[in-house]
């Protein structure tokens, strides 16, 4: 009888322990193979996780999965494009459930990994799936041209010199081109005679988004040519442009991808808004869909828009705000087109 009571006590303690943790093991990389544990990995393109823009926004979506879904999350920064496959495999070989790959250039590596690991769901940020749906791949894409159009329309209305500029990453990346083309179209929608100085970084994928010095120099050159609004769209390269513009009085700058008011405080003196791709909620929504067993193969379209004006809200005339709202409505219902891709 005594042994019975001892056994009963042990079982009761075990039951209480399981109840306290919900009956599920603590999420860690060591138990990713356990069906009760959700593991999500993120692989950057050649860039850094704290780029205050694109990669950071995607990582925040993954971190939201840790906060709200109890996932174990981890990232790997790619230093060389030849490491795409091996970096993805770092997660796949440890039985991660979901792998997020960030950037257009990782598209082929993502598809190859998806074929090799069909049990894993892959989220390819900025990786349009145009060659047919793959069951375990969702491409998170955005109409960057529309966000760029709004940014250009704002820039043209704020400019007093009739000259605006864009400091950009490489034209090897279609979303960068879409931002640029939309920006120019939006500006000309307001002022057909406006002068636009748009400059792509001359380097390859390995340097185009991590060169703030070039961004700053290029922005300074545009300012010297009379530009009084500068759009910085190119990761840390674009951030360099924003920070340079902030050191000059009487000019505006526009950020990209996320609301850079919160990520590049050095740009506050000029940062009127940012042309946003809502990457964070897009990534999280796809992770949630995967968890719910409703993963959408093919293309998943995220939202875009302008960030709040923050300290510049009173400086943006109501007529300008009304015009932007009118343009946004037209872009959404198709009565206004950016011309990109046509």
* pLDDT, tens digit (0-9, with 9 covering 90-100), for 163-219: 999 999 999 999 999 999 999 999 999 999 999 999 999 999 889 999 999 999 999
pLDDT of amino acid 132: 87
How far apart are the C-alpha atoms of 129 and 139, rounded to whole Å?
Answer: 6
Strand order in the sheet with 195-200: 195-200, 163-168, 229-233, 252-257, 271-277, 304-306
How far apart are the C-alpha atoms of 138 and 118, rounded to whole Å?
Answer: 13
DSSP structure class, residue 45: E
pLDDT of amino acid 20: 42
pLDDT of amino acid 25: 66
Question: Residue 227: phi, psi to the nearest 5?
Answer: -65, 135
The full set of domains in the chain, from first to last, is 27-142+281-301 (3.40.50.2300), 144-277+309-333 (3.40.50.2300)
Question: Residue 34: phi, psi to the nearest 5?
Answer: -70, 130
Low-confidence ranges of the chain (pLDDT < 50): 1-22
Rounded-to-5 percentages of helix, strand, coil across the chain: 45, 20, 35
How far apart are the C-alpha atoms of 336 and 316, rounded to whole Å?
Answer: 23
Torsion of CA 328, 334, 339, 342, to 10 degrees: 150
pLDDT of amino acid 247: 98
Are the CB atoms for 92 and 116 separated by under 8 Å? Answer: yes
Please calculate the CA angle 214-217-223 and round it to the nearest 5 degrees: 140
pLDDT of amino acid 6: 37
Residue pLDDT, tens place only, 65-87: 999 999 999 999 999 999 999 99
Q: How far is CA 204 from CA 80, 209, 211, in A?
A: 12, 9, 11
- The per-residue DSSP string of 265-301 comes to GGGTTTEEEEEEE-HHHHHHHHHHHHHTT----EEEE
Identify which of 158, 167, 308, 294 has the alpha carbon closest to the alpha carbon of residue 236.
167
pLDDT of amino acid 28: 87
Question: Residue 94: phi, psi to the nearest 5?
Answer: -105, 15
Question: Residue 24: phi, psi to the nearest 5?
Answer: -110, 145
Question: Residue 82: phi, psi to the nearest 5?
Answer: -70, -10
Identify which of 9, 62, 6 has the alpha carbon closest to the alpha carbon of residue 38.
62
């Amino acid at each position: 009888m005594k042994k019975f009571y001892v056994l009963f006590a042990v079982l009761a303690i075990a039951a209480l322990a399981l109840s306290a943790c919900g009956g599920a093991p603590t999420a860690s990389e060591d138990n990713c193979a356990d069906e009760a544990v959700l593991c999500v990995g993120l692989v950057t393109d050649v860039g850094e996780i704290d780029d205050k823009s694109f990669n950071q926004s995607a990582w925040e979506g993954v971190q939201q999965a840790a906060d709200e879904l109890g996932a174990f999350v981890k990232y790997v920064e790619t230093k060389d494009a030849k490491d795409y496959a091996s970096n993805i495999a770092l997660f796949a070989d440890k039985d991660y459930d979901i792998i997020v790959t960030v950037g257009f250039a990782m598209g082929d590596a993502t598809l190859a990994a998806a074929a090799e690991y069909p049990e894993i769901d892959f989220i390819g940020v900025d990786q349009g799936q145009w060659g047919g749906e793959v069951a375990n791949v969702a491409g998170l894409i955005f109409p960057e041209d529309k966000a760029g159009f709004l940014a250009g329309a704002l820039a043209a209305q704020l400019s007093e010199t009739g000259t605006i500029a864009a400091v950009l990453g490489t034209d090897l990346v279609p979303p960068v081109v879409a931002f640029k083309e939309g920006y120019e179209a939006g500006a000309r929608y307001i002022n057909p005679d406006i002068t636009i100085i748009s400059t792509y970084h001359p380097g390859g994928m390995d340097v185009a988004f991590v060169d703030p010095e070039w961004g700053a120099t290029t922005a300074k050159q545009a300012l010297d040519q009379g530009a009084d609004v500068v759009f910085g769209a190119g990761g840390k390269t674009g951030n360099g442009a924003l920070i340079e513009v902030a050191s000059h009085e009487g000019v505006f700058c526009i950020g990209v991808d996320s609301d850079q008011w919160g990520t590049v405080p050095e740009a506050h003196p000029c940062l009127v808004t940012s042309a946003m791709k809502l990457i964070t909620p897009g990534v999280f929504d796809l992770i949630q869909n995967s968890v719910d067993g409703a993963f959408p193969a093919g293309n998943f379209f995220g939202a875009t828009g302008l960030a709040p004006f923050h300290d510049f809200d009173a400086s943006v005339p109501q007529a300008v705000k009304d015009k932007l709202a009118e343009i946004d409505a037209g872009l959404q219902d198709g009565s206004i087109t950016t011309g990109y891709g046509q």
